[in-house]
Structure 1
Amino acid sequence: MPDVHTPARPHTPGEGAAPGHGPSAAALLDFALRTAADTALIASLPLDPEGRTWIRLDGPDGSEAWLIGWPPGTGTGWHDHGGSRGAFATAAGELTEQSLAVQLPTEGWKTLELADGVDRRRRLGDGHGRAFGPHHVHQVLNLSAATHAVSVHAYYPPLPLMRRYSRTGPVLRLEEVERPEEWQ
């Protein structure tokens, strides 16, 4: 992702921090929700009909944050956040999150067969968001056929890597590991 530096709402240092460990997932969600309500910031994001667009933001207490535009029919694919906790909130449109309610091992596997009942699905419209812990695996989708969506995402610690997965039925396969230099 390109590094376009755009400050978001002011934040008091230490506010909502997990003791000695940066902002909590709840503090990241609060930041994402407050930032998603900033209509001037949301309107500043250029939208592309073909692909996602993004602007890097100043997150609270050393966190990494992004404002992301989602054309109709786009998504992230299955991924995790390399051990970072995070949150995201929808500022415009609607996003669907598909996630796994299970902690996966972080090393030593290429293919896993998922048990029944681990799939979760959430629809997040304007002003709605969710926080997650460091072992969260999900994909985020704009399922609309006609409407862009815009969202705010925040992670702490800043993403050390992202693991990308493919999924066929219950089989999840680790496909690649991305490093920050590939998206910044």
Structure 2
Amino acid sequence: MSASPVLPSSPAGSPSAGSPSAPGPSQAELLDFVRHVAADAELVASLPIDPEGRTWVRLDGPGGSEAWLIGWPPGTGTGWHDHGKSLGAFMTAAGELRENSLAVRLPTDGWKTLELNAGVDRERRLTAGAGRAFGRYHVHEVLNESPVRHAVSVHAYYPPLPLMRRYSRSGQTLRLEQVERPADWQ
């Protein structure tokens, strides 16, 4: 993976970082932000593309949120993960992504392996201009399944990611594999 510098990209009228007592952006505000950025064809086209691995540029999100513009080469994905206590939203800006998610609230701490009930799996296909918001502890994986086409997406999280938990999955068994902190991916 390769990293790029921070690019400011707050839409006009979006909440600013403001005072520490100001509430952070809502899921709807994060979704509005990623929608606005995904529609910025010049910014999306400026993302460096690597045929071997994902690339990203950090953006200034609304209200002190953390945001990223991410490039997905054909056949790449995130693996199963969550964003801890952060709310989030993402939108596909180019290409198509698939999100697999779990429609169940998992315990936040104190476990290594869980057996999932039947019927908790959800799948979304997100073409350019399609996205979604999600709440705290949302477990999902995002994939570019195209064999030939890059995808680009915009992601925003509030509060800025304190951690990400990575999981492996075999059938209905979900296993906590690793906890990453910001220093691990910046």
TM norm. shorter chain > 0.5: yes
CA distance in 2, matches of 1:181, 1:119: 31
2:88 match: 86
Query: Deviation digits for residues 111-170 of structure 1, max 9, x if unmatched?
Result: 000000000000000011000001200000000000000000000000000000000000
Name which of 143, 146, 157 aligns with 2:145.
Answer: 143
Shift of 1:173: 0.1
Confirm whether residue 131 of structure 1 aligns to residue 133 of structure 2.
yes
Check whether the contact 1:11–1:60 (CA below 8 A) recurs between aligned residues: no
Gaps of 5+ in 2: none
Name which of 151, 161, 164 aligns with 1:162.
Answer: 164
CA distance in 2, matches of 1:131, 1:111: 27
In the alignment of these two chains, the number of paired residues is 181
Shift of 1:68: 0.1
CA distance in 1, matches of 2:159, 2:180: 16
Name which of 16, 26, 29 aligns with 1:27.
Answer: 29
1:49 match: 51
Gaps of 5+ in 1: none
Name which of 110, 133, 149 aligns with 1:108.
Answer: 110
Query: Aligned AA for 1:115?
Result: N
Query: Deviation digits for residues 63-83 of structure 1, max 9, x if unmatched?
Result: 000000000000000000011
CA distance in 2, matches of 1:85, 1:59: 13
CA distance in 1, matches of 2:145, 2:32: 25
Q: Sequence identity of aligned pairs in percent?
A: 70
Shift of 1:4: 1.1
Name which of 91, 98, 101 aligns with 1:96.
Answer: 98
2:11 match: 10
CA distance in 1, matches of 2:103, 2:128: 24
CA distance in 2, matches of 1:52, 1:127: 20
CA distance in 1, matches of 2:174, 2:140: 11
What is the TM-score with the length of structure 1 in the denominator? 0.95
Shift of 1:13: 5.3
CA distance in 2, matches of 1:22, 1:29: 13
What is the TM-score with the length of structure 2 in the denominator? 0.94
Check whether the contact 2:11–2:33 (CA below 8 A) recurs between aligned residues: no
